[in-house]
Structure 1
Amino acid sequence: MLLPLLLSLLSEGTRAQEYRLQAASSVMVQEGLCVFVPCSLTYPQDSWTSDTPAYGYWFRSETHTISGFPVATNRPDREVQADTQGRFLLMGDPSQYNCSLLLREARREDSGWYLFRLERGPQVKYNFKQWLYLDVAALTQKPDIFIPGMLEPGQPANAVCVFKLTSEHCPAPTFSWTGAAVSAHATQPLRSHFSVLSLTPRPQDQGTGLTCHADFAAKSTQETVHLRLAYAPKDLVISVSWDKASAPEPLAGVRLLEAPKGRSLRLLCAADSQPPATLTWLLGDRVLSRSLPSGPTSLALELPGLEPADSGHYTCHAANGRGSQNRSLDLAVQYPPESLTVIVSQGNRTVLENLGNGTALPVLEGQSLRLVCSTHSQPPAQLSWARGTQTLSRSQPSEPGVLELPRVQPEHEGALTCLAQNPLGSLRVFLSLSVQYEGLASVAFSKGVYLGIGVTTLLFLCLILIIVKMLRKKPAQPAVPRAKVSRSSTILDYINVVPKVRTQKAKPGSPSQPAAPGAHSPEPRRKQKGPHGPAPTAPPQAPRSECGQEELHYAALSFPGPRPWAASTSAETHVDYAEIKFH
């Protein structure tokens, strides 16, 4: 008993090696679509010829292969299951060792295991052991729509809808188009795996939907695209975020943005355009940053640690080949008053600038005084001048603080305060105003003049005394003979000289004394005579003052009395000039 069983098993194993089927073990198809399953087989040539027909059958795993109905077969007289008729097709010829299967209009209930059976001649009747699993999934595949290039309003363009088929044996869907841009002149749908639509977009078609429908016998699928026409930048929006992690907040209608000094700021500019616009951030006329062509549709500007220099007019500029658009924003960096300065003017002349705190300010009584106080702050500070608790002047914000004193009076004397104040803080500077009186200044000036004159006179007298002492210490010089005084001498010969006559007895061996002024000397008279008589004596030049005019001096002449002419020649009479008087 065991021997026949072993021989039977060996015979089955040998036959299994002769029957082989090559196909995918699992195939997936979406509901309503088509799938082609390639399949090939090998079987022995046993009791059949080339003219012997070969029949193939595809069965569900639960169907009896002898009495049941296959899902597909090439045998004309063999009935197939009603729900698979016309959908499952044996595309291969078993006589050519081909067992390929085509499934159209797949249904969810088609999922399961399938096997193939071959019959050829009286001996070849075999169910192949290689099974096929068919998986039918939900329909998710959609057609693809292609619109080449950029659509221009009023310019004809083509839209192509393509549905990818798994095999050329699968039937193509029926295409149709819907949408605002589809006109009555659109091409009719074609029974192919793609369809072409000619359209002429209008400006109002921007953003409208264009839909391609792919219809199969049992199912349909579709795809929609929104038309993108070339247009200039629009809907330009500036957003702000205070921290890197915070979401940007659109600044709709905001023209002035106030931010405290030291805080970080991020400005984001975004625009809608086709093709994408080039975005540029500017501060005034200076370019801060710029996006690359065809780059992102937004551009961020980072402003870390705001400073007063960051204040200004910011502009986001978006431009492409169709046009441009701008949005502007004024940024004001807020800070308390800084660096108070004071300028002092008298009349139209500036006398002091940038005075520091506690500076002394002396001013003459009756003079005009103008004090101008200024500072830097945002928002603009209000400046005021005060003396103690009394406010003297107050300016409008953004204007300097001015204090006008047309005539400085004693009651103006004291501490003056300039106060700069805005909502963020305040700053002040103190000045000490002192009034100088003009009368006291004149008395002091006069006393100084008199003191100078007295000191100068004293120094001059001391100098004269020193000169006189020096002259007295000099040795006596030989007497120089003086010219005799004749009756023809004029009064000018005696100016500035006061003679003092003293009579003394001549001593033996004493040197001869000079002759008296009235004595006649032959030699001098010979020298005075000219061709026509005695030469006149030249009058002495009068001294001149510093102003160039002649200055008169007075001299006194003393005559002791009339003397005989001969007595003037007495040897005992001597004249010394001992005194000079200046008047």
Structure 2
Amino acid sequence: MLLLLLLLWGVKGVQGGNEAKEGFTLSVEREIVVQEGLCVFVPCEFSYAREKWTDSDPVRGYWFRDGDKTDRDPPVATNNPHRSVLKRTKNRFFLIGDPQKNNCSLNIRETRKKDAGSYFFHLERGQTKFNYLWNMITLHVTALTDTPYVLFPETLEAGYPSNLICFAPWACGSPTFSWAGTSVSLSSTNTNGSSVLTVTPQPWDHGTNLTCQVTLPGSGVTTRTTIILNVSYAPKNLTLTIYKGVDPATTALRNGSTLTLLEEESLRMLCTVDSNPPARLSWAYGNLILSPMQSPTPGLLELPQMHRRYEGKFTCSAQNVLGSQHMSLNLLLKRRSWSQ
């Protein structure tokens, strides 16, 4: 009977069970957390007893899903070139450690939700076959929260090209980059880990959104970052609006217009302009620069009572670091007819 048991032992080799066995150890992080679509490296080392194998026997390592049968189910990764791996983990799960050097490290690329679960390492050498079932790893796949980084000038100048760079250093493989904007004409150059977008913004692009989206290979999950464009431009669309007397009606005037007022009639003149950075608004009477009015409304000039000394040319100027714009108005006085 003892001889029969020894013969059976020689045929079957060493079979690992759910409990640790003397001479067989495995060191690995038990809980692995990775975001969907990303990669994770799992360091792993193992040892085994010198039983039923010779130095000439190759060391074969395998990673299996919990519950798999090692004799018939495909592993998720192996260094055995004659063993097919699970179809959905092929080219994504890699046994990158060298089992010949007691290294069972696992690399997982482009993780998917379905990859979540527990896995165990299986050793084969000569007649030794052993499952390290007591020290399995559990993979947790969470939602992707990482977002791409966008490098861009704090201020873009209208009419001049600028480069914006989008990159995702946390991504593995070759992610796909795409850009989306409401106004800017998009033309980008993509590399494996980044995308360079060249834009030539216009004034109307100021304050609009620009989005860089990254799509990860394999999983197809996407993540994005949106920035708001700050486009600088010279003053434009300078407008002059007048308010006569107590009349609430307003009149928008063209540059160089002439306006006739009755003597002692009041007048308010308001300049508005579109610019970034905001333009400084000022008034001049002839060649005389008027002191800024203590008014909560920039660009507002008030003449409480029209006198002959106010006759002449008033000019409103809007100026910022990129340029200026001017608009003038000629005022004429009409004396009141006291017989009325």
* 3-state SS of paired residue (1:230): strand
* 3-state SS of paired residue (2:214): strand
Q: What does 1:459-538 correspond to in 2, within 5 Å? A: none
User: In structure 1, what residue type is equivalent to 2:226?
Assistant: T
Please tell me whether the aligned partners of residues 143 and 222 of structure 1 are also in contact (alpha carbons under 8 angstroms).
Answer: yes
Q: Hey, what's the Cα distance between the residues in 1 that align with 2:150 and 2:28?
A: 34
Q: Hey, what's the Cα distance between the residues in 2 that align with 1:67 and 1:314?
A: 87
Q: What residue in structure 1 maps to residue 252 of structure 2?
A: none
Q: Hey, what's the Cα distance between the residues in 2 that align with 1:45 and 1:320?
A: 83
Q: Hey, what's the Cα distance between the residues in 2 that align with 1:117 and 1:108?
A: 24
* 3-state SS of paired residue (1:129): helix
Q: Hey, what's the Cα distance between the residues in 1 that align with 2:178 and 2:123?
A: 44
Please tell me whether the aligned partners of residues 46 and 124 of structure 1 are also in contact (alpha carbons under 8 angstroms).
Answer: no
Q: What residue in structure 2 maps to residue 119 of structure 1?
A: 124
Q: Does 1:148 align with 2:153?
A: yes
Q: Hey, what's the Cα distance between the residues in 2 that align with 1:98 and 1:129?
A: 18
Q: Hey, what's the Cα distance between the residues in 2 that align with 1:110 and 1:233?
A: 57
Q: What residue in structure 2 maps to residue 188 of structure 1?
A: 189
* 3-state SS of paired residue (2:121): strand
Residue of 90, 93, 101 corresponding to 1:88: 93
Taking a change above 3 Å as real, the CA distance of residues 153 and 76 of structure 1, as seen in their structure-2 partners, is same
Taking a change above 3 Å as real, the CA distance of residues 316 and 231 of structure 1, as seen in their structure-2 partners, is farther
Deviation (angstroms), 1:176? 2.6
Segments of 5+ residues of structure 1 without an aligned counterpart are 1-11, 235-252, 254-271, 279-284, 287-311, 325-583
Q: What does 1:246-265 correspond to in 2, within 5 Å? A: none
Q: Does 1:175 align with 2:177?
A: yes
Taking a change above 3 Å as real, the CA distance of residues 158 and 17 of structure 1, as seen in their structure-2 partners, is farther
Deviation (angstroms), 1:314? 4.6
Q: What residue in structure 1 maps to residue 209 of structure 2?
A: 209
Q: Percent identity?
A: 41
Q: Hey, what's the Cα distance between the residues in 2 that align with 1:113 and 1:104?
A: 16
User: In structure 2, what residue type is equivalent to 1:42?
Assistant: S
Taking a change above 3 Å as real, the CA distance of residues 100 and 317 of structure 1, as seen in their structure-2 partners, is farther
Deviation (angstroms), 1:106? 2.2
Deviation (angstroms), 1:89? 2.1
Q: What residue in structure 1 maps to residue 65 of structure 2?
A: 60
* 3-state SS of paired residue (2:88): helix
Give the aligned length.
239
Q: Hey, what's the Cα distance between the residues in 1 that align with 2:138 and 2:278?
A: 50
Computed over aligned residues only, the root mean square deviation of the Cα atoms, in angstroms, reads 3.7
Q: What residue in structure 2 maps to residue 70 of structure 1?
A: 75
Residue of 164, 175, 179 corresponding to 2:169: 164
Taking a change above 3 Å as real, the CA distance of residues 80 and 136 of structure 1, as seen in their structure-2 partners, is same
1:509-562 deviation digits (Å, cap 9, x = unpaired):
xxxxxxxxxxxxxxxxxxxxxxxxxxxxxxxxxxxxxxxxxxxxxxxxxxxxxx
Q: TM-score, normalised by structure 1?
A: 0.36
Q: Hey, what's the Cα distance between the residues in 1 that align with 2:278 and 2:48?
A: 65
Q: Which of the pair is proportionally richer in helix?
A: 1
Taking a change above 3 Å as real, the CA distance of residues 121 and 201 of structure 1, as seen in their structure-2 partners, is same
Deviation (angstroms), 1:275? 6.4
Q: What residue in structure 1 maps to residue 231 of structure 2?
A: 229
User: In structure 2, what residue type is equivalent to 1:199?
Assistant: V
User: In structure 2, what residue type is equivalent to 1:189?
Assistant: N
Radius of gyration: which is bigger?
1
Q: What does 1:258-337 correspond to in 2, within 5 Å? A: 313-315=294-296, 321=321
Deviation (angstroms), 1:47? 4.9
Taking a change above 3 Å as real, the CA distance of residues 102 and 119 of structure 1, as seen in their structure-2 partners, is same
Q: TM-score, normalised by structure 2?
A: 0.59
Deviation (angstroms), 1:49? 5.1
1:23-49 deviation digits (Å, cap 9, x = unpaired):
222122233333332222233444545
Segments of 5+ residues of structure 2 without an aligned counterpart are 1-16, 237-247, 249-273, 281-290, 300-318, 325-340
Q: Hey, what's the Cα distance between the residues in 2 that align with 1:229 and 1:23?
A: 53
Q: Does 1:100 align with 2:105?
A: yes
Please tell me whether the aligned partners of residues 26 and 132 of structure 2 are also in contact (alpha carbons under 8 angstroms).
Answer: no
User: In structure 1, what residue type is equivalent to 2:98?
Assistant: D
1:160-208 deviation digits (Å, cap 9, x = unpaired):
1111326xxx31202233333234xx34322x12222222222222123
Deviation (angstroms), 1:321? 4.9
Taking a change above 3 Å as real, the CA distance of residues 275 and 102 of structure 1, as seen in their structure-2 partners, is farther
1:340-398 deviation digits (Å, cap 9, x = unpaired):
xxxxxxxxxxxxxxxxxxxxxxxxxxxxxxxxxxxxxxxxxxxxxxxxxxxxxxxxxxx
1:131-175 deviation digits (Å, cap 9, x = unpaired):
211111223332221103421112221111111326xxx312022
User: In structure 2, what residue type is equivalent to 1:82?
Assistant: K
* 3-state SS of paired residue (1:188): strand
Deviation (angstroms), 1:99? 1.5
Q: What residue in structure 1 maps to residue 266 of structure 2?
A: none
Residue of 8, 25, 31 corresponding to 2:36: 31
User: In structure 1, what residue type is equivalent to 2:223?
Assistant: T
1:250-307 deviation digits (Å, cap 9, x = unpaired):
xxx9xxxxxxxxxxxxxxxxxx9866999xxxxxx89xxxxxxxxxxxxxxxxxxxxx
Please tell me whether the aligned partners of residues 161 and 212 of structure 1 are also in contact (alpha carbons under 8 angstroms).
Answer: yes
